[in-house]
Each structure stands twice: as C-alpha cells, then as structure tokens.
Amino acid sequence: MTEQTDQAPTVQELQESIDELSAYRERLYNDVIGLGKKLRLSQKKIDATINEHPELTRIDEVLGQLKQQRDFQVKNQ
C-alpha cells in the first residue's frame, strides 16, 4: 500500500500532470477526428461529436482545475 501525505502537489508535479493530460487529450481529439473522417462524417457532425464527447469534456474540466491550482500555488509562493 502506498503512503499518502497531506502535502499539496508541487507546481512541478502539477505542470507534469497538465502536460501529460494535455498530450492524452490531443491524442484522443485526433482519434475522434480521424474516425469521423474515416466514417466520412460532415465537419459539422465531427465538431458536434467533439463538443459532446464525455471524456474530452471531463479532461477539459480537470485541466482547468489543475491549471487553476498551479496558478494559485505560483501566485502564493
């Protein structure tokens, strides 16, 4: 079992998480677009699919929270 601490993540740890999650989001976004094009969907349908994609939406929410936490820590150092 891993030991948990009550310590907040460092700015560097937050940035690493943001970078990794952003890279994953980009891959997922490109996969959705590629699949839409392969299925010959209209650009309008591809855009709608991206806007309604639950995983992309959740990733955007988490990225926003991580960036907010990072910015707060940078400001209060």
Phi/psi for 14 (5° steps) reads -65, -45
Indicate if the pLDDT at residue 4 is higher than 80: no
Average model confidence (pLDDT) across the chain? 93
Give me the torsion for CA of 43, 46, 47, 50, rounded to 10°: -160
Indicate if the pLDDT at residue 30 is higher than 90: yes
Indicate if the pLDDT at residue 3 is higher than 70: no
State CA 52 to chain mean position distance.
Answer: 15
Indicate if the pLDDT at residue 68 is higher than 60: yes
pLDDT digits 0-9 by tens, 31-61: 999 999 999 999 999 999 999 999 999 999 9
Indicate if the pLDDT at residue 12 is higher than 90: yes
